[in-house]
Amino acid sequence: MTILYVTVPCYNEEEALPITAEMLSKKFDRLLETGKISEESRIVLIDDGSKDKTWDIIENLYQENKWFLGIKLSKNRGHQNALLCGLMTVKDMADAVISIDADLQDDINAFDKMLEKFEEGCDIVYGVRSKRATDTFFKKYTAERYYKLLNKMGAKIVFNHADYRLLSKRALQGLAEFKEVNIFLRGIIPMIGYKSDVVTYERSERVAGESKYPLSKMISLAFEGVTSLSTKPIRMVTWLGAIFFGISLVMLIYFFVRYLLGLTVEGWSSIVFSVWAIGGLQLFSMGVIGEYVGKIYMESKHRPRYIVDEFLKK
């Protein structure tokens, strides 16, 4: 039977965690009864520097329920690092690991199909949303455009897939080879390259509490994904510079011809437009290049992506 570990990043989830824990515990009981997982399987709750009673709840679950383990990070490191911490901590303990968020918007009943795909030889099984009925029009539209933008930028990610997936022990060993500090797991996982498949499911509302991903964080994650996985934005800056330079040559010829024909009229419109256009392009270009330089700076320091304060294990 498969030794299955489920990693659950948690940040200020005191409202949702008791409900989430009960649902996951019952799911593990059913999987054990049907012989799909081993008794050595576990659910690992990772506290990402929460400011509420999340860690207290995790400690109680660890003491009262055989399924639960707990990891406490020394400080808040963000969802991606907390998730990576869970995966790397248990990679040698499990045959397969499923990652899922604490809000349980992702359907835990998809565990069964993921395990079936794993038994068939898949090292990576992506949980993919079949539709976005629970999203607002704005979120649905921007999310779909975002996935398409990333793929056009050269970052090959799975459409409508977030961080709900199964990874085999071999896939986790492959993931451990990626050492970058600026991580975007949705883009890195497909780079591992082992046999993969998808399982579709319908996403539901949060079991409790509020979303920990407001618009500002979603935009930040989107920008992180683009700049971490692709150099095309820098190439775009180069092409923009070339285009504007070409336009300036055309305009130079145009104004020279008008000068020879005696048709020049003194005015400020073209000057103002040129100053704003070129100035805006320069600032935009400097910002994009600066973002990449900043990432190189952070990578060169080789700082730890996370530090474990405490690990509750049986």
| pLDDT tens per residue, range 228-262 | 666 667 667 777 777 776 776 677 677 667 667 76
- The whole-number pLDDT of residue 309 equals 93
- For the ranges 35-44, 66-75, 302-311, which has the lowest average pLDDT? 302-311
- CA 153 – CA 227 distance, rounded (Å): 9
- What confidence tier does 55 reach under pLDDT thresholds 50, 70, 90? very high
Mean pLDDT value of segment 15-31: 94
Whether the pLDDT of residue 97 is over 80: the answer is yes
SS3 128: strand
Residues facing residue 37 across a β-bridge = 2
Please indicate whether residue 309 or residue 186 has the higher confidence score (pLDDT): 309
- Region 59-82 average pLDDT: 94
Separation of alpha carbons 119 and 180, rounded Å: 31
| Unique residue bearing structure tokens 């256009």 | 277
d(CA 156, CA 145): 14
Residue 177: DSSP 8-state: T
pLDDT at 230: 64
pLDDT (average), residues 148-163: 72
Q: Which amino acid is at 13?
A: E
Q: What is the mean pLDDT of residues 160-169?
A: 90
Q: Per mean pLDDT, which range of 99-103, 147-151, 188-192 is the poorest?
A: 147-151
Is the Cβ–Cβ distance between 126 and 98 less than 8 Å? Answer: no
pLDDT tens-digit readout, 174-209: 999 998 877 888 888 998 989 999 999 987 765 565
Among residues 266, 187, 193, 275, which one has the least CA distance to residue 227? Answer: 187
Does residue 314 have a pLDDT over 80?
A: no
Residue 295: Cβ within 10 Å count: 16
Helix (H, G, I), strand (E, B), or coil: what is residue 308?
A: strand
Considering the chain, what percentage of its residues have pLDDT values greater than 90?
46
Largest Cα span, the chain: 92
**3-state SS, residue 73:** strand
Structure tokens at 296: 């190189």
Name the nearest CA neighbour of 240 among 199, 284, 274: 284
Query: 7 falls in which pLDDT band (50, 70, 90)?
Result: very high
Q: Give the model's confidence band at 212: pLDDT under 50 very low, under 70 low, under 90 confident, else very high.
A: low
- Confidence label for 264 from pLDDT (cuts 50, 70 and 90): low
CA 39 to CA 113: how far, in whole Å? 19
User: In which region does residue 68 sit, left (phi positive, over 0), alpha (psi from -120 to 50) or beta (all else)?
Assistant: beta
Is the separation of the CB atoms in 15 and 53 below 8 Å?
no
Across the chain, mean pLDDT equals 82
223 confidence band (pLDDT: 50, 70, 90): low
Closest CA to 13 of 49, 65, 42: 49
Exposed, middle or buried: residue 152 (CB in 10 Å: 0-12, 13-18, 19+)? exposed
The dihedral region occupied by 50, where left means phi > 0, alpha psi between -120 and 50, and beta the remainder, is: beta
β-bridge partners, 200: 128
Residue 272 has pLDDT above 60, yes or no: no
pLDDT at position 269:
53
